[in-house]
Every structure is written in structure tokens, then in C-alpha cells.
Chain A
């Protein structure tokens, strides 16, 4: 039924394309976790300006389609302002960085909201006890509230990671040679859309399924007992 005889791994760098997907995912996941944490800290901060910025950022960026976020990054930063994010003259490198920037800008909003719901599961007495010891706002957050919040949001964060893995396909829009980019190229060349679709779908499941299962187990292991 399905015929994969067209597949020539010398002609199509399947592993290279998925490797690019993995790199995009890992770089964006790290960036989103950091920026998402900063945004969450802003949203719970006692400083009104910070809270306002956090809320504004989330409500704007989360509601724009990812393709537009990434294309806007490329158009505005790279072409209009000629910011290359330290990539030098290498266009591929620059596009990779722009894609990561766009993915981080977008994914961090979901990380932030997951974290914020995690913060809400930490009893208020935890922060009060920390304040009563004399810890300042950032210490209370960093040492007491966030470590407990992270533990309660491993499962939702796993969902964000899976969505992010799939969302990296949007980087194709600015010419990053990841999996979906190769898939399009193969469909055009081989006229075998069904087989190619199955192949790439399987590739993505292979990437997301183990990390999802792993994080699920981690979530159960890390759960804070009260």
C-alpha cells in the first residue's frame, strides 16, 4: 500500500532536517523557560508598571498567529533594522536565530501562564513565612514560590513543549531547513504526499512522545507533598 522506495537518504537529508527541528526546539524551550519565568515574575510583582507590561505583552503576543510573529521578527529585525543577532554574514545562521527569537517570544507567553497558575497552587502561607524570615521579593520567588510552582506545572509545561516542537515547522516560513521545509521539498519532487506525510508525522511522534512520557513521570515524581 505505502511505497517508500523513492526515499533516498543521500538525496534527502532527513536526519539533518529533524536535527534542525530538535535544535530549534531545544534552543526555543530554554529561551521560553527563562523569558516565561521573567514574565511570570512581572505578572505577580508588586510593581504596577511591571504587572502592566507583563499583562500587555501576554495579551498581544499570545493572540498573534505564530507565523506572523516569526515573519515580523525577520522582516523588522533583519531586513528593516538589519539586526543579525550576532550571526555574522551566514544567512542560515541568522534565520535560525530569528526563528528561535520568534518562537521564544511566542512560547514564553504559554510558559508564563502555566507558571502563573502554578504559582497560584502554592499556599500563600509559604510566601508569608519566607517574607517573615526577611527574604526580599526576588528571593521569596526564587527560593520558595517558583521551585514549588515549577513542580506543579511540569505536566502543563510538557504540553507547551510538545506544541513548541510542532510549532518549529513555522520556521520554514523564513527559510530554516527543518523537517517541514524538507517535507515540502520532497512532496514537490516525488508526488508521494501520502507516504511523505506519514513519514514526517511519524518523525514528529518519535520526537514528542518520549519527552511527553518522560515529563509525565517527572511530574509525578516531583509533586510537592503537603
Chain B
């Protein structure tokens, strides 16, 4: 893995804090189940927010709502000042500014690694093919899979696939990246190679929302930890503050459980 920057503008420090993603009184139900309860959350430019909480607490739904893979019932979500549109062209454009990395990688199985990374820029942004391919190869080099460009996803290890998935999202030059448990499906020896790519992104000032239980990552890369339980944001704090001194009983209980491992 090279130390070259993963994004174009690699300003050492994030620009002055201003709101990039704003969730205001967001509510969401699945049938009778109230999965997001009155969520208020502001993510500023360049900030890295780790979302943590027990299984079923609504972390994935929160991520998916931010680029509207799930609809919400009430409240508003704005990205860089623009409210999320309901459907159609505007929504697709807004989504292209939000990169998403899934737990199960979801690389396009019928396309090569390179084609996975070039599809978005070619078909959504309609950028020049030669330039897009050159940029894709650079990105693949930077996440350490440059020599796998012509392989198919099934031929790669999980860690390699997830790094390709990160490159695929970065190729769109997104304003914010969402990671939904990016290392949960990985064998233990592959977790670090993915986290290292994410740390590098964080250092370069990328705005990130990361659902993860990797406390090492949260401590070293996050500006803030958001703790969710039962669809609510129960606690928000600096990583050290949260892990060393949780205030709520729910968080104490949760941390004692994951710390036992």
C-alpha cells in the first residue's frame, strides 16, 4: 500500500467545520417496529463519526437512510445543504455524492475489478474513458490491489474485495463516505488491511460515517462516537471519553459485553 493520498484534495486538516450531513427529527418504521426514533445528527465536513450499538439498534437503517436506500417517515435529511429528493434524477445525483461501503462488499460479480471501479464515473458522471481508467488504476494501487485489476471479485480475498469496494466508492469523488460494518464479514487477519485504508482516508480529511465495533479504529480515527440503542441516539462523545467513561447505563452495559472478547 503506498502512502499516496486516496483523494484528490489531500489537505492535511479538514476545512473549517461546517455541516455536511444533517438529520433533523428523522423517524422510520418497519411496520410496527420504530427503528429510527427522532434522530438528530449533524456531521461536519471532514469529520469522522463512528456509530456503535447493539445489533438491531438501527445503525444500518441510519446509514441507508442517508443515501435513501431506505425511505424515512418523517423529518429531513440534507446533504451539503440540499434536502434528499424523493425519486428520480436528482436523487441519483445526490446519491453519487455519497459513497457507500457495505458489510458484504457487493462488488458487481460479472465485472472485473477495474470495471467495478469505472462503472460509476462512466455511466453516472459520463467522464472520459481513458481518464476514468487511469484514475481507477491509481485508486486500486493506493488501496493495494492494483495488480488485481483484471480479475473478477470472486477471485479475490474478502479483504481485497472490500478495498476494491472502497476504491469503487472513492472513484465517484464523494463528499461523504458511509461504511456499514465494513470489516464484520472479514476473516480476522484481513480486518487491518481494510481499517488501514480507512484510517488513511480519515487522515486525508474525508468525511466519514462508520458503523463498526472496532474500538481501535474508533479511538485512533474518529472525532466522535455516536452510541445507538433501540433506534435512538443514546450518547454522543469523543472516543476516549465514550470508551473510558460512558455516561449512560446502556452504553456501559454494551461496552462491558464487547470488552469481554
A-to-B contact residues, CB < 8 Å: 123, 125-126, 128-136, 139, 143-144, 147-148, 151, 224-226
Q: Are A133 and B96 in contact (CB-based, < 8 A)?
A: yes
Q: What are 17 A-B contacts defined by CB distance under 8 Å?
A: A125-B106, A126-B109, A128-B69, A129-B100, A129-B108, A132-B67, A132-B69, A133-B119, A133-B120, A134-B92, A134-B95, A134-B124, A135-B119, A135-B120, A135-B123, A144-B110, A226-B154
List the count of A-B residue pairs having beta carbons below 8 Å apart. 71
Q: A134-B124, A135-B92, A135-B123 are known contacts. Are A129 and B102 too (CB-CB below 8 A)?
A: yes
Query: Are A148 and B119 within 8 A (Cβ)?
Result: no
Selected contact of A132 from candidates B88, B95, B107, CB within 8 Å: B95
- Tell me, yes or no, whether B233 is within 8 Å of chain A by CB: no
Chain A residues with CB under 8 Å of B99's CB are 132
With A130-B119, A148-B109, A225-B155 already in contact, 16 other A-B pairs whose C-beta atoms are closer than 8 Å = A126-B109, A129-B107, A131-B95, A132-B67, A132-B99, A133-B95, A133-B96, A133-B119, A133-B168, A134-B94, A134-B95, A134-B120, A136-B88, A143-B119, A144-B108, A147-B110
B104 interfacial contact with A, CB 8 Å: yes
**Neighbouring A residues of B110 by C-beta, 8 Å:** 144, 147-148, 151, 224
B98 at the interface (CB under 8 A from A): yes
Contact between chains at A128 and B89 (CB < 8 Å): no
Residue ID in chain A nearest B107 by CB atoms: A129
A147: chain B residues at CB < 8 Å are: 110
Using known A-B contacts A133-B119, A133-B120, A134-B172, determine if residue A128 contacts B106 with beta carbons closer than 8 Å: yes
Min CB distance A142 to B, Å, is: 9
Q: How many residues of B contact A (CB 8 A)?
A: 31
- Give the distance in Å from the alpha carbon of A66 to the alpha carbon of B119 in the complex: 42
Interface centre among B88, B93, B95, B98 (most CB of A within 10 A): B95
Q: How far is the CB of B148 from chain A (nearest CB, A)?
A: 15
| B residues adjacent to A (C-beta < 8 A) | 67, 69, 88-89, 92-100, 102, 104, 106-110, 119-120, 123-124, 152, 154-155, 165, 168-169, 172
The 8 Å CB contact of A131, one of B69, B154, B168, is B69
> Can you list the 8 inter-chain pairs with the closest CB atoms, starting with the nearest?
A134-B96, A129-B106, A125-B106, A133-B120, A225-B154, A132-B100, A134-B124, A134-B95
Which A residue sits closest to B121, measured CB to CB?
A133
Residues from chain B with Cβ under 8 Å of A130 in the complex:
108, 119
Give the CA-CA distance A123 to B110 in the complex, in Å. 12
Q: In the complex, what residues of B have CB within 8 A of residue A224's CB?
A: 109-110
Q: How far is the CA of A133 from the CA of B178 in the complex (A)?
A: 12
Q: Complex Cα distance A135/B96, Å?
A: 8
Q: Determine how close the nearest CB of chain B comes to the CB of A83; give it in whole angstroms.
A: 36
| A96 to B230 Cα, complex, angstroms | 65
CA distance A63 to B97 in the complex (A): 47
Residues of A within 8 A of B95 (CB): 131-134
Task: Report which of B67, B92, B94 forms a contact with A136, defined as CB distance below 8 A.
Answer: B92
Q: With A and B bound together, what is the CA distance between A136 and B152 in angstroms?
A: 24
